[in-house]
Amino acid sequence: MKQETGESLSRVAWKRLRKNRGAVIGMVVLSVMVLMAITAPWITPFDPTTQILEYSVKPAGFRGSVIYKRNLADESVPSIIAVSSIEERGDTVFYKDPSGEPYRIARSSLLGRAPMEYYSEPLFILGTDRFGRDLFTRLVYGMRVSLSVGLISESIALAIGIFLGALAGYFRGSVDDSIMWLVNVVWSFPTILLVVAFSVILGKGYWQTFVAIGISSWVDIARIVRGQFFSIREQEYVEATRALGYGTMRTIFRHMLPNAAGPIIVLSTAGFATAIIAEASLSFIGLGVQPPTPSWGQMIKDGYGYIALGTNWGMTLFPSMAMAIGVLVLNLFGDGLRDALDPKTSQR
Amino acid sequence: MITYLLRKILYTLLVLVGVVVVTFFIRPPGDPARVLLGQRADSASVAVMREQLGLDKPLHIQVAKYMINLTKGDLGRSIATNRSVSETIIERLPATALLACTSIVIATILGILLGVIAAWRPNSWIDSVTMSTSLLGISLPAFVVGLLFVLLFGVVLEWFPNSGYVDRGIEYLILPMVTLAIRPMAIIARVTRSSMLDVLGQDYIRTARAKGLSSRTVFIKHALRNALNPVVTTVSAWFAGLLAGTYFIEFIFNWPGIGLAAFNAIEKLDYPMIQGTVLFTAIVFVIVNTAADLVYGFIDPKVRLS
């Protein structure tokens, strides 16, 4: 006799998710982005803050010719000198800079031992920015900032939102009233303005940005959790936990919360995307992650000055596209997730 | 109805008190007087400045004073220009209002239209084109859309001017307006579509069809009317996002509205100006949403009871 086996909810959801083309594309692109962000130092040709002023605002596909000089302050990041021609005579290297001015340098202060190991003709795939920094390198490092902002800010938002939403939905009454008052106050500010406001209060910087975005975007989560808890607390198993004498916190977080997980997961992918946009907007204003740490918003702002001139539009276009792709795949994934977790919508 | 009205308005006032308190704390870290005068200022002039700004008083007195001044319409003076913040806001209101209102109107009309078209034949190519376009619209923040529009229509195609105010001609309005409308339009289209599909599955639609009404009559008269409720909520809720969007759009298009003033204030950490503009935006948002709620209560008796 064949044994009947049930399928767990998450398995069913996973099956549905795999059938959704948009969601699969989203997952694949997202994984690639995460991988690129993690392996940034190995897949990028330069250091994101290394400036080659002679090569400022070069177009995409520009090929330079440079020599690497040993950096006494930091051995791992060599200094880069742009050259137009070089000649090695004994222990000295004679070179001309791009404007044709002749210079000389001791062979020993350059990188590498074998002849010409210090010389290279690097390709700037996407061109360079105002300070002659490689755009591709900065784009990949900017992805690190964007993804970590999404991750950390969304975790902060989830922690606050779940906690307050659960309390409001479980206890109702005056607890609910006061939490909902707070929710309504915070909700009265457009999210991005609240992020700006908290950034002004906390000051500029890496961690301040994460916190500012996190404490601005918990409201939707709190509302959803509260709504879910309103119906969940009427279920028999919640009554059972009370009969068994479980503590309130145990009931809330061990037994009720997992049953509200679906909408929370869907909402947090959307929140992840919003956090990326918020960080870019902050950097665009000049708050947020500060230079020289590369961030997409800053790069877009840098490029903005060149748009009106009609030149070097790549400086704006490439980071904009990177952000659009990132947010788009997150939304695709989120949509797929919603359909997979909620059978009602997927039947349409 | 009267009790519902009063309860609603009282609660709104309570929320506004919270909004004002939050706004009061929008100021840079550290002593604002020191920030203003610079690190090298002597302690005597810092003390004078503190007194001028009312910073020498305890915090709750400061908050109370801020609220009392607010009821008189006094939002303090800009640090950068020494002008009255409320005067600046009133002076710049028409520019922002023009931009925001035309955008939300365009977004609503086009959004509903796209949503209805998509719902007309769900899962057809029209539906997928409309929905993927709207997904793209949601994925792009307003300032990026703005820059890309400037690049495409302003610089490459030279159809519209790059930046400037509408007093130089109507063509100056087009790009900022469309830029601002895209995101809300995309969201309204999606909400309309899903709400339409919801309604089309209801029994009374089947009844209407069974009566032999033409499918167009059923679609427009019976379905669309009932599907618009969540759409109205979306429109009023998105008005806030749109107002916030003006901060960036006005900067990009050099549009002399409240957003541009706020943007400049943020760069200079001119906190009274930041407070004023943020507070103004929040108040407008609260009023719009309360008004929308009241309209609901008026139309739909069920809402009044909850």
Q: Choose the closest CB to B144 out of A192, A287, A320.
A: A320
Mean pLDDT of A264-278: 90
Rounded to the nearest 10 degrees, the angle between the axes of helix A219-232 and helix A173-187 is 150
Would an 8 Å CB–CB cutoff place B247 in contact with chain A? yes
CB atoms within 10 A of CB A291: 12
Q: Would you call A121 helix, strand, or coil by DSSP?
A: coil
Binning pLDDT at 50, 70 and 90, where does residue A347 land? very low
Which of B11, B23, B31, B143 would best serve as a mutation to test chain A binding (most A beta carbons within 10 A)? B143
Closest A-chain CA to B162: A308
Rounded to two decimals, the ipTM of the complex is 0.84
Tell me which residue has tokens 């040993």: A70
Minimal CA–CA distance to A323: which of A287, A277, A290? A277
Residues 6+ apart with CB under 8 A from B173: B98, B99, B102, B166
Provide the CA A235 distance to its chain's centre, in angstroms.
39
The pLDDT tens digits for B221-274 are: 788 877 887 888 788 878 877 888 888 888 888 888 898 999 888 888 888 899
d(C-alpha A227, C-alpha A165), whole Å? 8
* Residues B305 and B1: beta-carbon distance below 8 Å: no
Candidates B14, B19, B266; nearest CB to A196: B266
Q: How far apart are CA B202 and CA B26, in angstroms?
A: 49
Note whether A190 contacts B285, CB cutoff 8 Å. yes
Given CA atoms B152, B154, B155, B159 in this order, what sign does their dihedral have? positive
- Chain A with chain B: Cβ pairs closer than 8 A: 129
Q: What is the pLDDT of residues B29-43, one digit of tens each?
A: 777 777 777 777 778
State pLDDT tens for residues B115-158.
988 888 888 888 888 888 888 888 888 888 888 888 888 777 87
Interface with A, mutate which of B14, B22, B249, B281 (most A CBs under 10 A):
B22
Compute the distance between CA of residue B47 and CA of residue A302 in angstroms, rounded to an integer.
Answer: 39
Query: What is the 8-class DSSP label of residue A58?
Result: P
Q: How far is CA A97 from CA A66, A72, A103, A204, in A?
A: 9, 22, 7, 38
* CB contact B243 to A (< 8 Å): yes
Q: Do B155 and A308 touch (CB under 8 A)?
A: yes
- Total-model pTM: 0.86
- Whether the predicted pLDDT of A346 surpasses 50: no
pLDDT (0 to 100) of residue B212: 82
**Count of CB atoms situated within 10 Å of the CB of A6:** 7
How far is it, in rounded angstroms, from Cα A244 to Cα A242?
5
Q: How far is B253 from chain A (nearest CA, A)?
A: 11
Instruction: Judge: A200–B27 Cβ closer than 8 Å, yes or no.
Output: yes
CB-based contact, B281 to chain A, within 8 Å? yes
Predicted pLDDT at A152: 94
C-alpha span between A77 and A307 (Å, rounded): 32
Chain B residue closest in CA terms to A270:
B139
Chain-chain contact of A317 with B23 (C-beta, under 8 angstroms): no
Q: What band does B14 get if pLDDT is binned at 50, 70 and 90?
A: very high
Peptide bond into A292 cis (omega under 30): yes
Task: Report residue B201 as tokens.
Answer: 């599955």
